[in-house]
Amino acid sequence: MKMVKSLILGSAAALVAMGGAQAADLPVKAKAVEYVRICSLYGAGFFYIPGTDTCIKLGGYLRVDTTFNGGIYGAPFWNGDNGQGNRYRDFFNSRSRMALTVDTRTATEYGVVRTFGQADFQFNNFGSSNPGLAVGSQLGGLNSSLLNTAGGGYVAVEMVFIQFAGFTFGKSASAYATPWNGYPGNNNSFLMGGPDYVTGVNNIQYTAQFGNGVSATIGLDDPTVFSRTSVGNLSLGLPAAGTNVPSNAYGGIQAPDIVGNIRVDQAWGLFQIAGALHNVNASYNVLGANAVPTTLSEINGHPDSKWGGAVTAALQIKNLPTGAGDDIKMDATFAKGMTKAVVSTSGGSPNFLMFGSTGIPGAYQSVGFGATTDAIYSGGIGGGATQGLKLTNAWGVRGAFNHNWDPFWSTSLWGSYGQVRYDGSVGDLASAKGAMCAAFGVAVAGQGVTYTCNPDFNFAQVGVVTRWTPVRNLTFSAEVGAFFLDQKFDGFAALPGVAPKPAAIYEFRDQSTVFLNVRAQRNF
């Protein structure tokens, strides 16, 4: 009996031990999963980052477009090989882009803290196959146009900024920008006539809200990209053979642009008045070829810096009788020493050099050109006799009428006009116009009997875009646009030629070009 009892107790102990071992091998019960929660504080698309009180929204778009007889995004053929119409000209250009945006917001005792960023992953054919231009790009350093190889592409950074208690820090639209930048209704990125900061500029700014849709913003902008064109040193002559484009002798950045606006945004529409102050400064009086400094540069001094600037008035009118959602957007700009505010694109400001046909016997072709500068000078050495910086004047207007035919179809009719003016007269060598013409006369011999020099020029643009949105956030569009250059030279002259153009007789004549852009875009 005692033996049986021992066996029973031993077996029970073994079973308990085995049960404990099996229980230890069982998985521990997992914690409850914290599912993503919708954040309704800041509009549709936001959700809480798990484990935080920060809301985030991910978005962007994928865009594919092709421009016929134009550059990417509807760039008119107004200079380079394309403006010449030579054998290096591209009959079409295309780009594929995926833009990704990240928007985060956190409520604090000081208000909402926001961060925003946009990166563009893109690939496009960058234009000319001219071997001379390709070598020049390589000598000039890293350039995105060298990355258009098979399987290549590049990343572009647009807006990247922090907002806190009314302040904005980082790369964002300038306080001087219009609410629509350079896009009152167009698809293309080259509608001039006013400022365009669509891809952002490094800045610091503060916005005050006064209620009832009234606000004011003041800021400091980095002027390197979006406020500068060129400061021409005429002492170097005109290195671009046969054109009136002087070498760029801008100095280093001495001061930020001081910008600001006052804005009224209400149900009827929007009105904004904005202004900017821009520091214009040259490097030296004496420079080498292509404005490269020499050992004589410092000891020969430099012209005094000057402050230029610009002012823009913008107006949007809503609730038009033509249909729901229709509106008119327009703006007008005047600039002195800040020509980028008028001759503006989403990138740099172009100089214009276009060729066409001629009716003059013996002439090879016609030519039209326009130099885009903030100022010119010569230091009293060659090429004219200007003393100090002579600021360039410019003004422009642009706008669009946007109409919705129905929920699926819409059309925008857009246009712009602008002028660039050099002060003075041809006979006054101390004036900007006189010095520019004197430099051109040295570079170009054999002027015809009807030849007259005038570096002023006008431009005009007009176009229409129609969009089809068959399903939400998917849009197909087609845009036709025209660019007109009204140059002010007259007669003809023997120009030295711009390769591959020959040295020959060229007639001075206004020029024009048209383009067609087709696009597919999916927003998400």
Helix (H/G/I), strand (E/B), else coil: 6: helix
Q: Are 479 and 516 spatial neighbours (Cβ–Cβ below 8 Å)?
A: yes
Neighbours of 234 (CB within 10 A): 27
**Does residue 355 register a pLDDT over 90?**
yes
Q: What is the pLDDT of residues 147-165, one digit of tens each?
A: 555 666 788 899 999 999 9
Provide the Cα torsion 259, 260, 266, 270; round to 10°.
Answer: -40
Contacts of residue 326, Cβ cutoff 8 Å, sequence gap at least 6 = 318, 320, 401, 402, 403, 404
Q: Are 379 and 235 spatial neighbours (Cβ–Cβ below 8 Å)?
A: yes
Q: The dihedral of CA 332, 261, 271, 467: what is its sign?
A: positive
Q: Are 481 and 514 spatial neighbours (Cβ–Cβ below 8 Å)?
A: yes
Helix segments in 52-178, DSSP class H: 80-84, 131-139
Region 283-295: what's the mean pLDDT?
Answer: 90
Query: What does the angle CA 230 – CA 233 – CA 235 come to, to the nearest 5 degrees?
Result: 165
Q: What is the pLDDT of residues 161-218, one digit of tens each?
A: 999 999 999 999 999 999 999 999 999 999 999 999 999 999 999 999 999 999 999 9
From the CA atom positions of the chain, what is the Rg in Å?
Answer: 31
Strands 375-377 and 231-233: parallel
Q: What is the pLDDT of residues 115-151, one digit of tens each?
A: 999 999 988 765 555 555 443 333 344 445 555 556 6
Contacts of residue 136, Cβ cutoff 8 Å, sequence gap at least 6 = none
Closest CA to 243 of 338, 355, 136: 355
Q: What is the pLDDT of residues 463-491, one digit of tens each?
A: 999 999 999 999 999 999 999 999 999 99
Region 294-305: what's the mean pLDDT?
Answer: 93
Q: Are 224 and 374 spatial neighbours (Cβ–Cβ below 8 Å)?
A: no
DSSP, residue by residue, 200-267: -EEEEEEEEEEETTEEEEEEEE--TTTT---EEEGGG---STTS--PEE-B----SPEEEEEEEEEET
Q: Are 63 and 519 spatial neighbours (Cβ–Cβ below 8 Å)?
A: yes
Strand partners, 395: 334, 419
Q: What is the pLDDT of residues 75-97, one digit of tens each?
A: 999 999 999 999 999 999 999 99
Q: Are 389 and 405 spatial neighbours (Cβ–Cβ below 8 Å)?
A: no
pLDDT band at 497, cuts 50/70/90? confident
Closest CA to 248 of 233, 263, 260, 261: 233
